[in-house]
Amino acid sequence: MSEAYDYSEFFDDEPQRVQKERPKYRVLYEDERIVVFDKAPGVAAIRERFQVGVSLKEMAEERMGRLWTVHRIDKDTSGVIVFARDAEAHKLLNDQFERHEPLKIYAAVLEGEMVEDEMTIDIPLAVDPANAARMRPSARGKESLTVLRVRERFRGFTYAEARPRTGRQHQIRVHCKAVGLPLAVDPLYGNRTELFLSAIKRRYRGYDREEKPLMARLTLHAEQLTIQHPATGQPTTFTAPLPRDMNALLTQLRKARG
């Protein structure tokens, strides 16, 4: 039910041109019960404190009417997110997420070289008492399970598929950090706020020009979501292709490897 879209407007890789206003979201699918979006990075899923009118939910409701929040993805994560269009669909979807039934697949670029082809990270997570905006591993935390699978290996980095089996806040980010493979860009849990070509290319020559980052947001994309459709009860999958910035990063990693 998902469609392919042209993501050239999401990220302009030719800065000398006048940039168009980047779309905040794409509608992947909609019917009377649900609407599924491909959210751009930098857009909050729901309203953040003191920021009115700029979240995906608020913007979409201006066109579509009332929407019910089912789940969230981080502001600087791109990709698939679903909202309900009525209270009954909201309850049915909420019940699925409470039971950890939806299949969620994320694409992630990690710092470090993952040795195993697949690993299961089973580490309980809790709110960090020193910083309520962070999560941390804790024996007294809630059960949290993430499966990581290698898609490609590079020098110093790994392109991985992450499948969170539970839905804790920042789960993928904290789990990857806990096993020594933080997201390549993650201001809260990783080692970088931006990733530059000079960190990838051994003989990088900038010729005294100011270097612009390849990625300046989380190297994480909510690629695929499978739910039981609240109208039919049938498994339904929605897919958001990688946005341009992640594709550009992977291209440079492949060139450096080659």
Cβ–Cβ < 8 Å for 9, 44: no
User: Which residue reads 């690993």 in tokens?
Assistant: 119
- pLDDT tens, per residue, the chain with 258 residues: 434 444 444 444 444 444 566 789 999 999 999 999 999 999 999 987 656 568 999 999 999 999 999 999 999 999 999 999 999 999 999 999 999 999 999 999 999 999 999 999 999 999 999 999 999 999 999 999 999 999 999 999 999 999 999 999 999 999 999 999 999 999 999 999 999 999 998 877 766 678 899 999 999 999 999 999 999 999 999 999 999 999 999 999 999 987
**Contact between 160 and 150 (Cβ < 8 Å):** yes
Q: Return the number of other C-beta atoms located less than 10 Å from residue 172's C-beta.
A: 28
Domain 25-257, CATH number (from 3.40.190.10, 3.80.10.10, 3.30.2350.10, 3.30.10.20) = 3.30.2350.10
Are the C-beta atoms of residues 73 and 238 closer than 8 Å to each other?
Answer: no
What pLDDT shows up at residue 209?
A: 77
Contact 129, 85 (CB under 8 A): no
pLDDT at 234: 97
Q: Nearest-5° angle of CA 17, CA 23, CA 24?
A: 135
pLDDT at 37: 98
Q: Which helix (H) or strand (E) holds 162?
A: strand 157-164
110 Cβ contact partners less than 8 Å away, ≥ 6 residues apart: 157, 158, 159, 160, 176, 181, 182, 183, 184, 219
Q: Which residues are catalytic?
A: 74
pLDDT of residue 2: 39
Specify the pLDDT at position 77: 98
Question: Which pLDDT belongs to residue 221?
Answer: 98
